[in-house]
Structure 1
Amino acid sequence: MKLIVFIAFALFVTTFAKKLDEKYMWKELDFAWPSEEVKQAAIKSGRYIESHNLPLGLEVWKDKMFITVPRWKGGVASSLNYFKINDERSPVLIPYPSWEANQLPESEQTTQASYGGGRTDAKEAEKADNLLAKNNETIISTFRIRADDCDRLWVMDSGLADILGSPKQWAPNSIAVFDLNTDKLIRRFVIPEDQVKEDSFFANIIIDTQASDCSNAFAYLPDLGSYAVVVYDFKNDKSYRVKHNFFHFDPLQGDLTVGGVNFQWTDGVFGMALGTPTNEHGDRTVYFHALASTKEFSVPNTVLKNETFATSGDSYYAYTLLGDRGTKSQATAEFYDEKTDVIFYTQINRDAIGCWNIKKPYTPENQGLVDSDSHTLVFPNDLKVDDKGNLYVLSDRMPLFIYKNLEPGYNYRILTGKTEEVIVGTPCENAVQ
């Protein structure tokens, strides 16, 4: 009898619990080079070193899958790229918006500059600014990107290259906005120097807008290094820096072990997700968490969009502690899915993807586990949900890339699944009515 019950349970799990499918995988990233001669010349000169190209962020727009490749080390061929969604397992990356826009000048020593903290050499800063003046579409190094409801791609460009080697600030931190229908740059906004601190690090960008009013858009830029959020007002073409205690990391949650590598991080506010608008004005909840933390917080977007209120101490109590995910649940990215009312998030300490239904209390018991795999989900770095309810997860074993060495074989993957299917059997499936 016990055996029959066990078999029935196993069949139930097999039938209803659907894991993520491996859609794409790479041993090394390759690119759609102008020619084989150009590729070989780049290899010979060290401008392309295969093992230094690590995918980190992804975004989906229509039939395009965008992939970012930050310039952690020298030899990154292109930082902003895409490929057409298809059945090819290891597609080559196409630089966006062009090859030229993703190329650093030949002489690295003549154009580096320092912005935001530390010493700024005026002549070198001018040369770096000239890099953008020559081609304002230039993308130096980007981590995460976001496409909005108005068919625009928002790119947070750190302007920083060779981060793990000899860091070079080629250009100031800036936001580049592209029209995805024409692949043309709409605007480049440089974050003012007084909003960039010595330890600032912008590795994410969230866009708050509606297709009914594309000019009324706001970008939220979590500053994980100096614990703040820079808010960019698109209509007025200005930004301001917002501070709050909830943007800081938890000193008890900075110890991480991924892929057998132990390390300690102090990353503050990082993941952010936008709830669904509740009225015609686009009012909604902004969910957020620090990377070195297991707690989740929220704040109304009306707070962040009001510069006077957001930058004053009066806004302190507008922020809410939602709860704690539980032990070893540190997360990088999160994303809200309107179809299921579920926020999906990475679990880097567990090689997993978690979920939470926003209609339930934020407790460990209400956190679901969509998938966990110590082979395919080692450091799930970014995730997105498209308008068809497809969840995409990029895993890249980044701690091994930074602190050790990646092993031969497939290290980079994009996994996918239908949001309505992957939450079956988890606490995220049924919401409180």
Structure 2
Amino acid sequence: MCFHTTIIMKEISLLFIAITIIKLACCENIVEIFHWKQLSHQKHFLEDAGDITFDEENSTTGPNESFVSYVNIPMGITHHKGRLFITIPRRNPGVPATLNVVDVSGFPNGDMSPSLKAYPDYITNQLHTDYHADPKRIVSVYRSKVDVCDRLWFVDTGRLEYANNSMQIQRPHLWIIDLLQDRKVRTFEIPESIVQFGDGMASLAVDVEAGSCDKAFAYIPDLVQAAIYVYSFETDRMWAFKHPSFQQNPDRANFHVAGFRFVWDDGIFSIALGKRDMLTHSRPVYYHPMVSTTEFTTNSETLQNESLANSGDYESFFQALGDRGPNTQSTMHYYDPETEVIFYSQVNRNSIGCWYTRNNFTAEEHDIVYLDHQHLVYPGDLNADVDGNIWILANNLPTWLYSKLDENKYNFHVWRMNPREAIVGTKCQN
């Protein structure tokens, strides 16, 4: 018994040393920008919120709901020119704003736990007393994206996912906002012919080139319906693809995060856009279900073909790329055009992984650029800003779902990472 215990202790020590080496190699290349024990909002609504008041002790999100700090769980972050947009889906009553913003310009000398401000304002985020539909209001947002044309894209699911009172308040909408003027460019109501409910649209990718802003496409994965919805800005139309590779893999349904074991069934979760071919203007499209360790691929030419989508004859256009290996289930991922590396969150490992796209897609060719079992628990979002910096959000979601967060500790963390520096010393260095 003592002999085996000694061996186990040595293995644990070696593992700790290995983890420490990983962290030390990366700690200068990834910087913690913000952290919160619990989220808070500005103490007063903006002037255009009428006579609705807001304070930490006796606050309201409108005439029908009270602010509850604990249920405000950040799910997505997007950075644009000194502002960080934070999304909080309405999964419980008590969320004053599903789309929020904080100022990053004060880092590193500013407040590392700043109060949130509703974006574009509180009125747009406010629910009506009787929960009636209002296309001018935003109900619930999971994640957002900023494009090279300085526009913020997101899907309002239109759905309240309250445990005892889930309801589809209004049709899901795709929103596009001009961030230079803080004005809505367009909303597109996603028709019932595409999808009935909006709760499966937890992310999106935007395909556009600078100088051709009107020719943008949005690719929206639906993790519930196992589908990709494609929106053309130019034609203001949407179509859908469905394929077996969009579905979950039951063999990869077991998760072990923060001491909790659970089984999930999320299908296609994230879409990353590869390097564009300058001749064909097509680009590879990488995607994966969350409940899977397999990466799949298609191309933008396929997704942008509405006729092909309507024909249903596209089975061969979606193919498996390879497997990342055990315990590599991932939420979001991003292709960095400078390094040609895909970075992805590993929720089972509390880490950020990488793969150099010129290498074979095998487990042996993947590596970890950062790992932290304390401050990177459930990295639920990962994307890049227009300057190429990668932003990561870890939110301790499994603890919140299956136990209770310690409100005396920092539970939510926002990181910034330089891709070129992050891959130094890894298999992804090129």
TM-score (norm 2): 0.88
User: Does the 8 A contact of 1:197 with 1:226 survive in 2?
Assistant: no
Superposition CA RMSD, Å: 2.2
Amino acid at match of 2:392: V
Unmatched tracts of structure 2, length 5 or more: 1-17, 46-51
Moved more, 185-194 or 276-285: 276-285
* Deviations 1:62-85, CA, capped at 9 Å, x for gaps: 111111011111000111011111
Q: Report the counterpart of residue 398 of structure 2 in structure 1.
A: 399
1:311 to 1:247, Cα distance in 2 relative to 1, 3 A: farther
Aligned partner of 1:84 in structure 2 is 103
Per-residue CA deviations over 1:92-139 (Å, capped at 9, x if unaligned) read 11111111101111334xx2xxxxxxxxxxxxxxxx1xx22xxx2x21
Q: Equivalent residue for 1:229?
A: 228
Give the stretch that moved more between structures: 271-280 or 225-234: 271-280
| Amino acid across the alignment from 1:417 | M
1: CA distance between counterparts of 2:279 and 2:354? 28
Residue 169 (structure 1) shift: 1.7
Aligned with 1:219: secondary structure?
A: strand
Partner of 2:372: 373
Q: 1:21 to 1:170 in 2, by over 3 A?
A: same
| Pick aligned residue for 1:23 from 20, 23, 33 | 33
Whole-Å Cα distance in 1 between the matches of residues 21 and 254 of structure 2? 37
Post-superposition offset of 1:368: 1.1
Residue 347 of structure 1 is matched in structure 2 by 346
SS in 1 for 2:251: coil
Q: Deviations over 1:193-247 (max 9, x none)?
A: 1211469611111111111211111111101001111111111111111111111
Q: Who is 1:114 aligned against?
A: none
In the alignment, the residues of structure 1 paired with residue 297 and residue 124 of structure 2 have an alpha-carbon distance, to the nearest angstrom, of 37
CA distance in 2, matches of 1:418, 1:207: 21
Offset, 1:20: 2.7
Partner of 2:429 in structure 1? Answer: 429
Instruction: Please say which of residues 217-226 and 37-46 is displaced more in the overlay.
Output: 37-46
| 8 A Cα contact 1:389 1:420, kept in partner | no
Q: Distance in 2 between matches of 1:91 and 1:341?
A: 34
Tell me whether 1:60 sits opposite 2:79 in the alignment: yes
What secondary structure does 2:316 align onto? helix
Identity %: 35
13-22 or 92-101, larger mean C-alpha shift: 13-22
3-state SS of paired residue (1:139): coil
SS in 1 for 2:216: strand
Give the distance between the partners of 1:13 and 1:328, measured in 2 at CA: 18
In the alignment, which residue of structure 1 is the partner of 2:48?
none
The question of 1:293 aligning with 2:303 is answered no
Q: Who is 1:419 aligned against? A: 419
Q: Any gaps of 5 or more consecutive residues in structure 1? A: 1-8, 112-127
Whether contact under 8 Å (2:355, 2:367) holds in the other structure is yes
Range moving further from structure 2, 281-290 or 12-21: 12-21
Q: How does 1:56-135 map to 2 (within 5 A)?
A: 56-85=75-104, 86-87=106-107, 88-108=111-131, 111=132, 128=133, 131-132=134-135
TM-score w.r.t. length of structure 1: 0.87
Q: Aligned match of 2:59 in 42, 55, 58?
A: 42
Deviations 1:303-328 (A, max 9, x none): 00001113434322122211000001
Kindly indicate whether residue 32 of structure 2 is the aligned counterpart of residue 32 of structure 1: no
* C-alpha distance in 2 between matches for 1:89 and 1:198: 37
State the one-letter code of the partner of 1:53.
N
The alpha-carbon deviation at position 274 of structure 1 amounts to 0.5
Paired amino acid for 2:81:
K
Checking the alignment, whether the CA contact within 8 Å between 1:26 and 1:412 is kept in structure 2 is yes
CA pair 356-10 structure 1, distance change in 2 beyond 3 A: closer
Q: Shift of residue 281 of structure 1?
A: 6.0
Would you say the 8 A contact 1:201–1:226 is kept in 2?
yes
